Structure 1
Amino acid sequence: MLQNETSNELSLELLGDFELVCSGQRVRVPLGAQRLLAFLGLQSDGVHRGAAAQQLWPDYPCHRAAANLRSALCQGRRTGCVPLVDCIGQRLRLSPLVRVDLHTVGVGARKIVDGPGPPPGDAEAFIDDLTQELLPGWTDEWLDLDRERWNQLRLYALESLAQRLLTAGQYLPALQAALTAIAIDPIRETAQRTVIEIHLAEGNVASAVLRYQHYSDFLLRELHVSPSPHMTNLLQGLLSA
């Protein structure tokens, strides 16, 4: 990261509230330009102008959507310390000078999911990054697929991280990672099992049984199903004791 006075580093934050940061300073961005920058930040290969206009303003006639896009482009060009959007013929893309937090955190998450090895040194900071939702409060339909992709990636990363931390005997951050995954998807069993495994590793048998009972009651109430045999086997001999 460049820190000298000539640096014009740009960071687009899509995890949590929208923010554009230029050389360490937050930049005020008009709403139309926010939506355009966020949309382009999710398109790794860029997008045709017509497709961008239709997806960003789906309820408008084509000519009105195109006018809104031109306005957002003008606003985007006047925002920040360097040009934010590259126009290549009829295609638009976010400038490669702009670092997008979703992509940066996503690279780390995929490394956790795909590669063996010890947990990262600053596990708590990584867990904090994975707690962030993709533009919470935004209701645009073009966000739905990317939001689901992000949720699935961070679930797998948190579960993988929790298992690595458990193996390393780092029980508190392991528990934090597993509980963060449960907060994202309380029905999913994987992280619930990890919490039970952590309690058992610490010798907290009562806590492990209580977690199982709460989860079992939750599944019965919500879906009329029971935990899998894989989960039940973790507590073999304890549930009937």
Structure 2
Amino acid sequence: MSSNGVYLELLGFFKLSYAGCRIPLPSGTQRLLALLALHTAGVYRGAAAELLWPDCSPSRASANLRTALCYGRRAGPLPMVECVDRRLQLAPLVDVDLHRARCGAAQDANSGSPPPACPEALSATLGEELLPHWRDEWLVLERERWDQVRLHALESLAQRLRRDGEYLAALQTALTATEIDPIRETAHRILIEIHIAEGNTACAVKRYKEYQLLLRRELEVEPSPLMTRLVQHLISA
């Protein structure tokens, strides 16, 4: 978290702070700042009003937007929202935790980059949901985008940690990925590979059978041949 300047947190609970002190905001302004943080190219005023207040008349939605803008422009040391080419944009001075997390995920996905100094911290950040307690329709696609980013980053990090022999950190990272999407096979497959690398063959078989039962119960399908081959020799031994 930034101790200087304006910091906007969207992972977990919404929070806007300046120099470490929280800035209270009404709900409408919170949603406006979140919307602009997720659409870095900006959002036209009419589109923003429609997205944020879909159940209101156009005139009422526009009035709500004006109120949200008023609070957003005077909440911090400088205006939080700017108007550029008729689009509303988050002011550059606002540092956003989601943007940091995406950069960290992209850097970790680069096989040529050094491993993160604190993989546990990166894993914890990637384990956070995007504003999970908000029910806004416009967040559905943004959550899916974030979930795909963090799943791939967590799986990549877990594989790198396994190759480096950091088995506990690798297990915790892969488990975080399975919590995000229990059906997705990749993270479960990585868990099996970690158990095998540690010599814990019983744990590898147990993980496979638990995942197999989950797929049968939820989707009536079987694990992929790639996953089955990982444990085939262990089961038949």
Q: Give the TM-score band, short-chain normalised.
A: over 0.9
1:8-157 correspondence runs (5 A): 9-88=5-84, 90-157=86-153
What SS does the aligned partner of 1:238 have? helix
1:201 to 181, 197, 209: 197
What SS does the aligned partner of 1:235 have? helix
Residue segments in structure 1 that go unaligned for 5+ positions in a row:
none
The AA in structure 2 aligned to 1:153 is V
Distance (Å, rounded) in 1 between the aligned partners of 2:178 and 2:232:
23
What TM-score do you get using the length of structure 2 for normalisation? 0.96
What TM-score do you get using the length of structure 1 for normalisation? 0.94
Structure 1 position 49, deviation (Å): 0.6
Distance (Å, rounded) in 2 between the aligned partners of 1:45 and 1:117:
28
Cα deviation per residue 1:138-168 (whole Å; 9 max; x = unaligned)?
0101111111000000000000000000000
What SS does the aligned partner of 2:188 have? helix
Structure 1 position 236, deviation (Å): 2.3
Distance (Å, rounded) in 2 between the aligned partners of 1:33 and 1:103:
19
What SS does the aligned partner of 1:45 have? coil
Structure 1 position 116, deviation (Å): 3.3
The AA in structure 1 aligned to 2:10 is L
Question: Given the superposition, is the C-alpha separation of residues 188 and 176 from structure 1 closer, same or farther in structure 2, using an over 3 Å criterion?
Answer: same
What SS does the aligned partner of 2:47 have? helix
Asked if 1:179 is matched to 2:175, the reply is yes
Q: RMSD in angstroms over aligned alpha carbons?
A: 1.5
Do 1:118 and 1:164's aligned partners in 2 also have CA atoms closer than 8 Å?
Answer: no
- More displaced 10-residue stretch of structure 1: 107-116 or 170-179: 107-116
Structure 1 position 90, deviation (Å): 2.7
Structure 1 position 117, deviation (Å): 4.2
Do 1:118 and 1:168's aligned partners in 2 also have CA atoms closer than 8 Å?
Answer: no
Do 2:107 and 2:113's aligned partners in 1 also have CA atoms closer than 8 Å?
Answer: no
Residue segments in structure 2 that go unaligned for 5+ positions in a row:
none
Distance (Å, rounded) in 1 between the aligned partners of 2:98 and 2:104:
10
